[in-house]
Structure 1
């Protein structure tokens, strides 16, 4: 279905971001939706002076700063390339025209939103689990590709554990 979206006639602009390049910074309003063609990104916020990674995106994923995209207001979220990344972007205006153009497109958007809600619920469960091993096992089962696409230091941050703990868990 995502390929159909890319081939739909919706205007997509291709953009390249170097390693550590920002697609979005905190305090900005983001009215774009992104399709990650190649590479990987992290979505995070700052908590005092510490980064808190809340999500990743890699090849084949649609990502969006959903709070800002839906509300039209600034967001505290950053979206940053982890390595050289190529994304296709579509504006909110163009994307909404696309989803309003047919029942099938609206159903597609609803499925994206439902998936994001379910991902968020899984993420919240992960954070409530006190055992690092359980968190690791849940994420490995849910997203094995993550461990091939994203460096361990970011995964450890996402899992709320030290890189050393993650390394031990991966070895066991």
Structure 2
């Protein structure tokens, strides 16, 4: 399926987008490709683009001294970018890195923002997307704060059973906030779907 058509179907399922808005919105996206292990956005930079993933896997992560915490993964048919930096146009606290070679559709902030202000159907689709994103972030916060390592592991597999095949286990352990050794033990002891 054409990437723009897939993007349209995804957004339109969240909230119907009128033809004039879609024509304008679809015109601001450009295809881009990155190699494996490339930093798209570094901490301290302001996110200039909204990405929609066509292929590949990416991660958002934070560095604190010598500790690294993976915050989010993105993969095909999802939006990507450092969302708070993009929306607020302030320096990022996070890095966005490709785990594998990746291709995207990419739209610049200034054009996304201008169209959001001009077209109510786009503004509503973006608002609803942010609502779902916020709900997911809050659910994940509860998981990180109160779930055991095994519960976190099981929830991850229930939500994204394919993830063990596409993301290195060290990043999954970081995402779950557990030690890589504990992750390996869980991998060996829990029956996988």
Quick check: TM above 0.5?
yes
CA-based RMSD of the aligned residues comes to 2.0
- Aligned-partner Cα distance in 1 for 2:175–2:102: 20
| Runs of 4+ displaced beyond 4 Å | 5-8
CA contact (8 A) 2:32 2:103 kept: yes
Q: Deviations over 1:1-25 (max 9, x none)?
A: 8521687523112221111101100
Return the offset for 1:117.
Answer: 0.5
Aligned partner of 2:7 among 3, 13, 33: 3
The alignment's TM-score, normalised by the length of structure 1, stands at 0.90
Q: Deviations over 1:35-68 (max 9, x none)?
A: 1110010000101111111111011110231221
CA contact (8 A) 2:35 2:101 kept: yes
The alignment's TM-score, normalised by the length of structure 2, stands at 0.81
Uncovered stretches (5+) of structure 2, i.e. residues with no partner: 12-21
Uncovered stretches (5+) of structure 1, i.e. residues with no partner: none
Q: Which residue of 2 aligns with 1:164?
A: 181
Return the offset for 1:132.
Answer: 0.4
Mean CA deviation greater in 97-106 or 10-19 = 97-106
Aligned partner of 1:69 among 86, 92, 97: 86
Return the offset for 1:79.
Answer: 0.1
Aligned partner of 2:160 among 143, 151, 156: 143
Q: Which residue of 1 aligns with 2:29?
A: 12
1:126 equivalent to 2:120? Answer: no
More helix by share: 2
Return the offset for 1:169.
Answer: 1.8
Return the offset for 1:168.
Answer: 2.5
What secondary structure sits across from 1:35 in the alignment?
strand
Return the offset for 1:93.
Answer: 1.3
- Aligned-partner Cα distance in 2 for 1:121–1:88: 27
CA contact (8 A) 2:29 2:106 kept: yes
- Aligned-partner Cα distance in 1 for 2:62–2:139: 19
Return the offset for 1:130.
Answer: 4.7
What secondary structure sits across from 1:117 in the alignment?
helix
CA contact (8 A) 1:129 1:135 kept: no
Rg (Cα) greater in structure: 2
CA contact (8 A) 2:52 2:79 kept: yes
- Spell out the pairing of 1:91-110 with structure 2 (5 A cutoff): 91-110=108-127
What secondary structure sits across from 1:26 in the alignment?
coil
